[in-house]
Amino acid sequence: MNIALFGFGNVGRSFVKLLERQRAVYPFRVVAIHTAHHGTAYDLRGVSADTPFGPAAASAGEFLDKANAEVAVEITSLSPHDGEPAISHIREAFARGIHVITANKGPIAHAYRELRNEASFRQLLFRFESTVMDGTPVFNLVRHNLPGLTINGFSAVFNSTTQVILEKLREGLPLAEGVRAAQELGIAETDASFDTDGWDSAAKAAALANVLMDAGVTPLQVDRTGIGHLTPHALANLEGNTQRVALVARGWSTANGVQLSVKPELLHLDDPLARLQGTSNLLQIDTDCMGTLGILEFNPTVEQTAYGLFTDLVDIARSI
Ligand SMILES: NC(=O)c1ccc[n+]([C@@H]2O[C@H](COP(=O)([O-])OP(=O)(O)OC[C@H]3O[C@@H](n4cnc5c(N)ncnc54)[C@H](OP(=O)(O)O)[C@@H]3O)[C@@H](O)[C@H]2O)c1
C-alpha cells in the first residue's frame, strides 16, 4: 500500500522508521513527502534516508497527483484557530479517491462532521486515532468495543508538554526550561505556545466532543486558560503538600449542547488527574452503560503517536 505524507517532522520521521521495522509483515511504503520549508520528495520504490528532496510541489493537489498513493497521512503542524491547511489537504485527498489518516487534531476539532460525511459519501476511510493521546485507543476503543454507549462527559490531562513544564517549575526552573525539555522529547507543538496557552488541549477537547458526543464545536468555543503565567514561586504557593496543579480539559453535556473548558486546576492528590508523572496522560469518560471509564497512557513519546498512525493504516488495509 502506497502512502503520501503531508509533513515530515518528529512524528513523520518516527512513523517512517516504524514502517521500516514492520515491513516484513506489513508491506506499507511511503512514496512521497511534502513539507513546508524542506521541499517535496517522490520515490515510487519507497522513500529512504537517501531520497533527495526537490523543490516543493506547487500545491497539495499537484503533490497528490504525482504521488500516486492510496493513503494520505496528514501530519503537518497544528493550527488550532482554523485547522488549516490540514483540512484542505484532506479534502484534496478525498477528491482524488485517497483514504486519509491524520494525527493533526485541527481538522477533527474544526471540521469533523464535514470531513466524515465527505469520506462516507466517497466511500473512503478517514482515521485519526493519534489526534488524542497518541496511539492509545480512544476513538477505536469506542468505535469497536463500546456499541450503543452514550458519553455524557469527560475529564482529562492530555497535554504532555504542560506536564513536563509543571515538573520543571516544581524544581524551581523557569517555564522556558520546561518548554526546551518537551521540545527535546519531540512532544511540543511546532509553536509551543499552543501547548502553554491551552490551545492543544482545547483542540483535543473539541475533537473528542465532536467525535464521541456529536458536538459540532470548535476550539474557539472552549473556555480556555493556559499555564503561561505560572512561575515556580506561584506554583509552590498554590500546591503546598497536598495539592497539584494540572492543565485539565473537561466536557459535559447540557440542554444547550456540549460545554468545554481547559484550565489549570488545583487538584487534591487523591484525584487520579493529580497523580500523573512524566508525560503520562489520563482520560476519564462518563458513560451511561459503563459508569466512568479511565484510559491511562504511561509516559508516551512520539513513537506512540507513530504507532497510532500505524494502527489506523492497518485498519484501512484490512477494511478495503
Ligand atoms: N509530536 C507529538 O508527540 C505529537 C503527538 C500527537 C499529535 N501530534 C500532531 O502531529 C502533527 C505533527 O507533529 P510533529 O511533532 O511532527 O511536528 P513538527 O516536528 O513541527 O513537524 C511539522 C511538519 O509539518 C510540515 N508542515 C508544516 N506546515 C506545512 C504545510 N503547509 N505543508 C506541508 N508541510 C507542512 C513541516 O515542514 P517543514 O519542516 O519544512 O517546516 C514539518 O515537516 C501535529 O499536527 C501535531 O499536533 C504530534
Closest atom of ligand 1 to CA, residue 106:
45
Mean pLDDT of 244-261: 98
Taking only the tens place, the pLDDT of each residue in 125-149 is 999 999 999 999 999 999 999 999 9
Q: Who contacts 56 (Cβ-Cβ below 8 Å, separation ≥6)?
A: 34, 35, 36, 39, 40
Give, using CA atoms, the residue closest to atom 40 of ligand 1.
Answer: 37
Residues 116 and 254 in one domain: no
Give, using CA atoms, the residue closest to atom 15 of ligand 1.
Answer: 10
Give, using CA atoms, the residue closest to atom 31 of ligand 1.
Answer: 36
Give me the torsion for CA of 106, 109, 113, 119, rounded to 10°.
30
pTM: 0.97
Of the chain, the percentage scoring pLDDT greater than 70 comes to 100
Give, using CA atoms, the residue closest to atom 8 of ligand 1.
Answer: 103
In a domain, 251, yes or no: yes
From the list 230, 267, 231, the residue with the least C-alpha distance to 248 is 267
**9 in contact with ligand 1, CB cutoff 6 A:** yes
Mean pLDDT of 147-176: 98
Structural domain of 122: 2-135+302-319
Residues 125 and 155 in one domain: no
Residues 243 and 268 in one domain: yes
Please state the domain count of the chain: 2
Quote the ligand 1 centre to 76 CA distance (angstroms): 4
If one counts every other C-beta atom within 10 angstroms of the C-beta of residue 144, the result is 10
Give me the CATH number covering residue 256. Answer: 3.30.360.10
Residues 183 and 96 in one domain: no
Residues 129 and 262 in one domain: no
Residues 114 and 34 in one domain: yes
| Radius of gyration for the alpha carbons in the chain, expressed in angstroms and rounded | 20
Q: Rounded to the nearest 10 degrees, what angle do helices 232-239 and 160-170 cross at?
A: 90
Distance CA 211, CA 139 (A): 8
Quote the ligand 1 centre to 82 CA distance (angstroms): 16
**36 in contact with ligand 1, CB cutoff 6 A:** yes
3 state SS of 263:
strand
Whether the link from the prior residue into 85 is cis, omega within 30° of 0, is yes
Give me the CATH number covering residue 55. Answer: 3.40.50.720
Q: What is the pLDDT of residue 50?
A: 76
Give, using CA atoms, the residue closest to atom 33 of ligand 1.
Answer: 35
3 state SS of 158:
coil
In a domain, 140, yes or no: no
Q: What is the pLDDT of residue 164?
A: 98
- The amino acid present at 94, given as its one-letter code, is F
Distance CA 315, CA 246 (A): 34
